[in-house]
A and B are shown apart, each in its own frame.
Chain A
Amino acid sequence: MRRVTGFLVLVLIALLAFAIPSVSAQQEPIRIGVYEPMTGPMAAGGQMTWEGIVLAHEMTPTVLGRPIKLFLADNKSDKVESANAVAKLIEQDKVIAIIGSYGSSNSIAGGDVAEKAGIPMMTDSATNPLVTLDKEYMFRACFIDPFQGEVMAKFAYGEGVRKAAILKDVAQDYSVGLSNYFKKTFIALTGDPKSIVAEVAYQTGDQDFSAQLTQVINSKAEALFVPGYFGDMALVAKQLRQLGSKILLMGGDAIDAPELVTIGGTAAEGIVFSTFYSADAPATPEAKKFVDAFKAKYGKTPNANGALGYDTYNLVVDAIRRANSDDPKKIRDAMASTKDFPAVTGSTTIDESGDATKDAVLLKVVDGKFTYLTTVKP
């Protein structure tokens, strides 16, 4: 009896030993890393992006017949933490492709690490040109800041603004870059190098802008462009209105977050900004399916970051499918040859520099809601 049991146990072990590798070879998941600011001053952007990614993952949970496993690393809205997060994703979680990050400075820091390791990375909403510059493994699903700066400068000019002021965050590549592109186009439009009447700065974490805004008001500017993040913009709006100024306030895609209104309150009224997408003006048929699914899951309308998170996940999965392999190099090549992909934020083609060319959407805060103004084609 005892011998029989012993034999059975041996057989069982042998069976398991054969069974496990064959099962795992089939079920071994495709590992995709995500690094986003889940905490810190950019948390809203990162969290909304993550919502979009999770939704896309639910709708497309497998590729090449294998399940997809997502690994999330919080970069805490910080450059150094971004590099750490990417290193962790690559070394510890063994991911073969990475999505992220909201915030150009985060993406630049994270991209350096991925580039060295030869892991393809696609950023959802980092718009600074430096993010993909001279990088082989770095791509993006959104437009870039030279275009965005031009859109906002043209908008201001069209509104009759001839003297504009800029308030930028010197600690953010996004902010510094975008303010320069705005300035360049605005000066070209007015033909007057002195048409930017004030250019003042702050640093991430600052909450008091009274001195800078006093400067802006004193310069008699007719509009103020603030290429900062949503939390800063809400406080800028509050303090600007408290200082008695009623000038036009403009921002970029980084203020597209509900916090702009919940924190800014009535002071946020009338702010105009450019972003990637609006649920009110779906760019593709894909958009409707996305909006319905998003509303069903989260009970709210998605913003541009939710849409880009969704798109980026699908773009990465599409690249893996076309590469027909989990080899990072092949995925990278497939990503680079993405053409006319039907994304929610517009048909996506990756160009030689790794960027996408897309329409910009202009939104305005009216009665506490982001109201669609117009779509600008590149």
Chain B
Amino acid sequence: MTWAVFAQNIVNGISLGSLYALVAIGYTMVYGILRLINFAHSDVFMLGAYMLFYIDFMFRLPWWLTFVLAAVLTGVLGITIERVAYRPLRQAPRISSLISAIGISFFIQNLGLVVFGGRPKPFPVPQFFSQSYMVGSVYMANISWVVPVFSGLLMLGLTMLVYRTKVGLAMRAISHDMDTSSLMSVNVDGIIAITFGVGSALAAAGGIMWALKYPQINPLMGTVPGIKAFIAAVLGGIGSIPGAMIGGMLLGMLEIMLVALMPTLSGFRDAFAYLVLIVILLARPTGLLGREFREKV
């Protein structure tokens, strides 16, 4: 492999990895606070992309405004999902919420098939994002640096939210002990709703960024990115926001490098990603940056 090809692959890896990271951040945030693996995350991701598609189709607003609207509306949707499917199960064993999340995931996918139709839709991509140019010997589309920068900013913003604000303090308190927090006059339901709202807005941002890079959207588009982001979150240590970022980048880079170095194995890239998941779970279940949490009995 020549230097130029290597550099190109690094760019490809960062570009893919930052997308995984972006989706993983949302996964990890909800897990970090609620200890719930929100399997519906990947479908909220899909809904975010469709939200933008339809808002753009109907109102033709400036692009940034469409983006913000889509993210906010998807956030509201996330809060609704929490209200309907998770809150009634708050006192039930954790496995019930997990099953409910899987149910919601299937429900959204199939609802999507009915409402949006099974055929893929072309996603509206502003010229700016898909424009590519040469840097040295490497081709790079604008989207390739927009996503990492955007993910980095979101990660910073989220860390600020969790560690520097009162809401964040409440979130962390809930994550340690829900009952005691509520005794300390923390509005548990409200905080959890906010958590889901933010998590879903993040999923929407992820879905939109994904669709900007791969501009075809369909009701099942969330499945594969969702699983990859989940692997990324576990790799980085589920519950840790910087961990999700690192895990995503690492997974993206590993996948690209596997194809680059072993082209004959390129069809087995997904198998490789799952292999990473298994190895991590066996060797270091808490992930790279994860902390040990003792299950309270």
Contacts and interface: CB of A to CB of B under 8 A. Distances in A.
Given A211-B9, A211-B12, A214-B5, A200 B216 contact: no
Contact of A259 (B122, B223, B269, B270): B122
Nearest to B271: A203
Contacts, number: 116
Contacts of B5: 214, 218
Contacts of A218: 1-2, 5
B205 to A, nearest CB: 17
Instruction: Indicate the size class of the contact surface on chain A.
Output: 35 or more
B60 interface: no
A262 B214 CA distance: 13
Interface in B1-45: 1-2, 5, 8-9, 12-13, 15-16
Given A202-B267, A259-B216, A214 B9 contact: yes
Q: Using C-beta atoms within 8 Å of the partner chain, give the interface range for chain B.
A: 35 or more
Interface string B257-272: 1111001001111100
B250 to A, nearest CB: 15
Given A202-B269, A214-B260, A43 B120 contact: yes
A44 B120 CA distance: 8
Interface stretch (A9-17, A53-61, A123-131, A237-245): A237-245
B256 A238 contact: no
Interface stretch (A33-41, A103-111, A141-149, A299-307): A33-41
A263 B267 contact: no
B139 interface: yes
A291 to B, nearest CB: 22
A39 B118 contact: yes
A205 B226 CA distance: 12
B130 interface: yes
A215 B119 contact: no
B134 interface: yes
Contacts of B216: 207, 231, 234-235, 259, 263
B12 A214 contact: yes
Contact of A211 (B113, B218, B255, B270): B255
Interface of A: 37-41, 43-44, 47, 168-171, 198-203, 205-208, 210-212, 214-215, 218, 231, 234-235, 238, 241-244, 259, 262-263, 265
28 contacts: A38-B118, A39-B113, A40-B220, A47-B118, A171-B267, A202-B267, A202-B269, A205-B223, A208-B255, A210-B15, A210-B16, A210-B256, A211-B12, A211-B13, A211-B256, A211-B259, A211-B260, A212-B266, A214-B8, A214-B260, A215-B263, A218-B1, A231-B120, A234-B216, A241-B132, A242-B139, A244-B134, A262-B122
Closest 5 CB pairs of A and B: A39-B118, A170-B267, A201-B267, A43-B118, A211-B259
Interface of B: 1-2, 5, 8-9, 12-13, 15-16, 113, 117-120, 122-123, 130, 132, 134, 139, 141, 210, 213-216, 218-220, 223-224, 255-260, 263, 266-270
